[in-house]
Structure 1
Amino acid sequence: MDNRVALMAIIVEDRDSVKELNDLLHEYGDYIIGRMGIPYHKRGINVLSVALDAPNNVISSLSGKIGKLSGVSIKTAYSNVGNANG
């Protein structure tokens, strides 16, 4: 299966979900290119971006699991770039 590059935009409004979110990101760590988290203290939320290089089903699985967390919103953008080897 071809890998795709994707970017997940995640907003965490419920701090109680942070550990579960971090556990999921750790579980899928082999596919993560990089991540950036920004605490927005004024609004009491955290904003994260996660770049991935993974098969589509892996990206969808992670996105679905994150979306089920309480107080967490996620959107995923996919590139049209396939495998680097062809």
Structure 2
Amino acid sequence: MEKRLGFVGLIIEDREHNAANVNMLLSEFGDIILSRTGVPCPERNCSAITLVIDASTDQLGSLTGRLGRIAGVSVKSMLSKMQHA
């Protein structure tokens, strides 16, 4: 399985209700997450999370697909062009 370096950007709306589901899912994918940075925005009841990942296209698709099915979560991602084993 060839992996690439990439990132995932998340915006979580209605943070009080949706953050726990996001955190549980990110824990499941902990083996591909190299870095996680979160910025809460309590005055807007939302937060932003940036992940740096080392993943295959299948792993990235699984992660972003499942994140995108969580209510109030917007997700965007990108992988580098260079692959490594």
TM-score w.r.t. the length of structure 2 is 0.92
Residues in 2 aligned to 1:14 and 1:37: alpha-carbon distance in whole angstroms: 15
One-letter amino acid of the counterpart of residue 14, structure 1: D
Whole-Å Cα distance in 1 between the matches of residues 3 and 83 of structure 2?
6
Task: Note the 1:63-74 alignment, pairs <5 A.
Answer: 63-74=64-75
SS at match of 1:2: coil
TM-superposed CA distance for 1:54, in Å, is 1.1
- Tell me the amino acid that sits aligned with residue 8 of structure 2: M
Q: Deviations over 1:27-77 (max 9, x none)?
A: 000110000000012322100001110111011100000000000000001
Code of the aligned partner of 2:26: L
Unaligned runs of 5+ in 2: none
Q: Which residue of 1 aligns with 2:6?
A: 6
The residue number in structure 2 matching 1:34 is: 35
Q: Which stretches of structure 1, 4 residues or longer, exceed 3 Å deviation after superposition?
A: none
SS of 1:53's partner is strand
RMSD, aligned α-carbons: 1.1
